[in-house]
Amino acid sequence: MDNKHENIFLGKLKIVYFGTLIGSLLLVSLIFLAPYLQSIHNPWGTLIYGLFSPFCHQVPSRCFQLWGHSLAVCGRCTGIYLGFFLGLVIYPFFGGTTRPLLPHLFYLLLFSLPIGLDSLGNFFHLWSTSTWVRLTTGLIWG
C-alpha cells in the first residue's frame, strides 16, 4: 500500500476506533446509570433495563447492586462490557491505531477458556461462582 492510501486507511481506522470507544463508554455508562435512575423513580431507568434485557438474564442475585437496585446487566456481562472498554482504552498503547493486527487465534481461545469453563460449570450445576468471579471471567474475555 502506498503512503497516500496508508494515510487514508489509518485516518478511517482512527474514526472507527474513536466511534467504537465512545459507543462502548456509552454502554458502560448506561449499565451504571440504570440503578441510579430507578432509585429516583425516573422512567428512563426501566427503558435502559429493557434495552439490555435481550442480551442478559439480569437475575438480581447475579448482579451487583447500586443505590438499592441491580446494575442493568449481570456480573459476567458487566465484566465483558468493562473488559471490552478497557481493551479499547489500552489499544493505542500497543500500536493498534498505527499498525492494526488481529490477535492470534491462540490468544482468543486462551482468554475464552475461563469464561467458558465457569459458564459450563454453572450451567451444569457443578458449582456456583460468586458475582466477583463472574465479573473477573467477563473482564478477561471482554
pTM: 0.89
Which residue in this structure is represented by grid cell 427503558? 47
What residue numbers bound the domain in which 125 lies?
A: 3-141
Phi, psi of 102 (to 5 degrees): -80, 150
What is the number of structural domains in the chain? 1
Q: If we measure between CA atoms, which residue out of 62, 101, 74, 82 comes closest to residue 141? A: 82
Task: For 81-125, write each residue's pLDDT tens digit.
Answer: 999 999 999 988 877 777 777 778 898 899 999 999 999 999 999
Task: For 18-32, write each residue's pLDDT tens digit.
Answer: 999 999 999 999 999
